[in-house]
Structure 1
């Protein structure tokens, strides 16, 4: 197992708070500690050195920590709004801060803003201004108080959505009366991998080497099996604080890999909540000195990839007789398999191999309780005759605006020809 020399931020804060009467480090103590550092002490001693430095009430780190935790609420009505948007790769999150004169409750109370799109790969240098439209607000777990995180989408100065603005098209689909009448619910399972900073190798893995084979790591406990729990727990609580509809978290099959679930969320809200949760996770891993990866197959070979399984249901699916509605939805999804695969995340072909709890990227399949299918239906859904389906194809780096709106479009708005429908039903053994 690789050694992480610096204790986590949570551990540093725990030590600092539990030692209110810690003795300031004198010049002799500093000299002694620095001398020990020059003697090339073990990694454990290096970690102790950092902890001792943080214990000092007069240290620069403690003064900075005090300012970061400063509650400005009693002294001003002004708040800090962190405007967040999706960058030019379609998966990177960017943000910047501005002061707002008073607390707000709705995105419509916030001003539009702009950024340099030429620096994010979203505009040319000679016409670089991109406009941010505030769309969703969350409480800021990093600054606290009345400060907020603001999910935005991006437009040209003329008001046209830029190519990486997938939220705009999703909002159009979710505002369709047919879609609204069906009240689409989503539960999204976001998997991610934690990497060591300098070597970009999974957390807890020997540098340049491999741990024991998969089996003991899924939902595990123990220093030799679970790597990054503090990050997962910090993220869980931060999301709850922010108002994100996070519903759970667990360690995944590959060591150093985790998952959290968001939902059930209705319509466009699902995408807003996933993007906000990803931003918070990026900030927490930044503080912990760990790299967040959403690569769908971070380690080649006999290791699970990282997906973003999307559970989906409509009002008709959740009511009596819903299983037949689910079958019709599966039929439509089979006929648009290529369209969905092309929109379900970059590099997904390295993950969807037919192994490691995936279906082949080239073949559409469905089954009850079968995690090796494109679409899985739960045993309870089959038994109750109503419920939801799970689309297991989306990659961990998928855009939730694209995936959720495409599921709604394919199952609620798109109609196949009668010939195609009959052929697909025969092929999938569906009676609809």
Structure 2
């Protein structure tokens, strides 16, 4: 059996809320009677230790209850002030950071919020002698952890002079999505975020025997049962929290590797896709933090005959969705084939360990596409082929990709970028042979 790790204090609060405040989970009279009987049989030294344990259990439950009551306290009737949790992306490009501030009244738009600053030298985003980085609020969501009028705020990052710092990928994405040609095409995205849950102390997938392996893949994908599904409560809690926050989450399921899950966000338009994925990731990080489980976005968390973790990105433009859109899709695929290296370099660190040509992936070195083929770089759905319009699925992005980068790059390559006639003709020949 897998090692079962005890949830941390925050997670226990949710469990103990239903208990009567101040009442121990152990019946007091029964506990004392039992201890006195053991004292007569086995001596006083062991009895003293056990009495301390009993008192500790009672005291700890009372403390957990009191802290839990304060965490769930609704302050709305007593003040107009709200808590805004400012969220940004750290120096690694994948780590999320956040801090809280009090706002004088509820807000409906990020423009009502003040800019803020943080120590960029502590996040790998600025030197110590000039460490101030400025947060610009860009989108707001309801806070599922604090409730009420409290909010989560996704921000991007700038120097005090107003220049975007190098890790601010949202800035360039917003420029692409504000281009009139892109705006006219109303780009839609549906992003499938895969992730792996790890046991806290051993960094081994949830549900796996510590230092060993479960049975081979097969029964775990969308599986049901204690021997097939590991972490469902976390997935469900995340699902509801995202709906509460206003994230456009469209579904979730257990994945092929045990301990691995997926949620889908979309269809989302333009820059919204990146905002929603990043906040959904933040919420998931907070939930796993409370559950005492580690969230991993590693593209290949376990080497060997196990599926990796991707972030498949479904994409369409207005022209693709209109009549005759299948030809537009094929032209977009041609452009994507010509910029394969540029896309791969931006699709997530460590992706070469995942894109091996096995486990429902294409080789990282070869561009391919096909209808209903999950072993290709780009998959076109059978319904899209049949109806002559629809969308394409880019299966190359890794689970740790930056959604601002991937979504804007897809729009740039398929809407704004035009290849030379010679390159286009050569690529068309190669793709014809591929099909």
Contact 2:10 / 2:290 at 8 angstroms: preserved in 1?
no
Please give the alpha-carbon distance, in whole angstroms, between the structure 1 residues aligned to 2:5 and 2:320.
51
Contact 1:368 / 1:377 at 8 angstroms: preserved in 2?
yes
Asked which structure has the greater CA Rg, the reply is 2
Residue 19 of structure 1, CA deviation: 3.9
Please give the alpha-carbon distance, in whole angstroms, between the structure 2 residues aligned to 1:180 and 1:253.
37
Residue-by-residue CA offset, 1:277-304 (whole Å, 9 max, x unaligned): 0000000000000000000000000000
Task: Show the counterpart of 1:6.
Answer: 6
Task: Show the counterpart of 1:132.
Answer: 135
Residue-by-residue CA offset, 1:95-119 (whole Å, 9 max, x unaligned): 0000000000000000000000000
Residue 3 of structure 1, CA deviation: 2.8
| 2:150 equivalent to 1:147 | yes
Please give the alpha-carbon distance, in whole angstroms, between the structure 1 residues aligned to 2:194 and 2:29.
47
Contact 1:327 / 1:430 at 8 angstroms: preserved in 2?
no
Task: Show the counterpart of 2:215.
Answer: 212
- Superposed structure 1 runs of 4+ greater than 6 Å apart: 8-11
Please give the alpha-carbon distance, in whole angstroms, between the structure 1 residues aligned to 2:60 and 2:355.
52
How has the CA–CA distance of structure 1 residues 69 and 14 changed in structure 2, closer, same or farther, with 3 Å as cutoff? closer
Please give the alpha-carbon distance, in whole angstroms, between the structure 2 residues aligned to 1:280 and 1:207.
27
Task: Show the counterpart of 2:335.
Answer: 332
> Aligned match of 2:276 in 263, 270, 273?
273
Please give the alpha-carbon distance, in whole angstroms, between the structure 1 residues aligned to 2:157 and 2:282.
17
How has the CA–CA distance of structure 1 residues 95 and 15 changed in structure 2, closer, same or farther, with 3 Å as cutoff? closer
> Aligned match of 2:163 in 160, 164, 168?
160
Please give the alpha-carbon distance, in whole angstroms, between the structure 2 residues aligned to 1:223 and 1:10.
24
SS at match of 2:422: helix
Residue 2 of structure 1, CA deviation: 1.5
| 2:252 equivalent to 1:249 | yes
Task: Show the counterpart of 1:421.
Answer: 424
Contact 2:190 / 2:267 at 8 angstroms: preserved in 1?
yes
Please give the alpha-carbon distance, in whole angstroms, between the structure 1 residues aligned to 2:183 and 2:69.
47
Contact 2:190 / 2:315 at 8 angstroms: preserved in 1?
yes
How has the CA–CA distance of structure 1 residues 15 and 106 changed in structure 2, closer, same or farther, with 3 Å as cutoff? closer
Task: Show the counterpart of 2:195.
Answer: 192
Contact 2:367 / 2:377 at 8 angstroms: preserved in 1?
yes
Please give the alpha-carbon distance, in whole angstroms, between the structure 2 residues aligned to 1:269 and 1:202.
31
Please give the alpha-carbon distance, in whole angstroms, between the structure 1 residues aligned to 2:287 and 2:337.
39
Please give the alpha-carbon distance, in whole angstroms, between the structure 1 residues aligned to 2:21 and 2:65.
13
Residue 361 of structure 1, CA deviation: 0.1
How has the CA–CA distance of structure 1 residues 368 and 9 changed in structure 2, closer, same or farther, with 3 Å as cutoff? farther
Task: Show the counterpart of 1:111.
Answer: 114
SS at match of 1:150: strand
Task: Show the counterpart of 1:73.
Answer: 76
Contact 1:357 / 1:371 at 8 angstroms: preserved in 2?
yes
SS at match of 2:333: helix
Contact 2:315 / 2:392 at 8 angstroms: preserved in 1?
yes
Residue-by-residue CA offset, 1:380-428 (whole Å, 9 max, x unaligned): 0000000000000000000000000000000000000001101111110
Please give the alpha-carbon distance, in whole angstroms, between the structure 2 residues aligned to 1:310 and 1:116.
33
Residue 324 of structure 1, CA deviation: 0.3
Task: Show the counterpart of 1:303.
Answer: 306
Residue 15 of structure 1, CA deviation: 4.6
Task: Show the counterpart of 2:225.
Answer: 222
Q: Which moved more, 1:259-268 or 1:6-15?
A: 6-15
Residue 12 of structure 1, CA deviation: 4.3
Structure 1 stretches lacking a partner, 5+ long: 40-48
Equivalent residues in 2 for 1:224-373, closer than 5 Å: 224-373=227-376
Cα RMSD for the two superposed structures: 2.4
Please give the alpha-carbon distance, in whole angstroms, between the structure 1 residues aligned to 2:2 and 2:233.
17
Task: Show the counterpart of 1:391.
Answer: 394
Please give the alpha-carbon distance, in whole angstroms, between the structure 1 residues aligned to 2:122 and 2:230.
35
Residue 6 of structure 1, CA deviation: 1.9
How has the CA–CA distance of structure 1 residues 15 and 133 changed in structure 2, closer, same or farther, with 3 Å as cutoff? closer
How has the CA–CA distance of structure 1 residues 132 and 11 changed in structure 2, closer, same or farther, with 3 Å as cutoff? closer
Residue-by-residue CA offset, 1:35-85 (whole Å, 9 max, x unaligned): 9xx99xxxxxxxxx99x948x896100000000000000000000000000
Contact 2:22 / 2:61 at 8 angstroms: preserved in 1?
no
SS at match of 1:305: coil
Please give the alpha-carbon distance, in whole angstroms, between the structure 1 residues aligned to 2:29 and 2:126.
53
Residue 21 of structure 1, CA deviation: 7.9
- TM-score by structure 2 length? 0.91
Please give the alpha-carbon distance, in whole angstroms, between the structure 2 residues aligned to 1:212 and 1:352.
23
Residue-by-residue CA offset, 1:183-211 (whole Å, 9 max, x unaligned): 00000000000000000000000000000
Please give the alpha-carbon distance, in whole angstroms, between the structure 1 residues aligned to 2:57 and 2:387.
60
SS at match of 1:311: strand
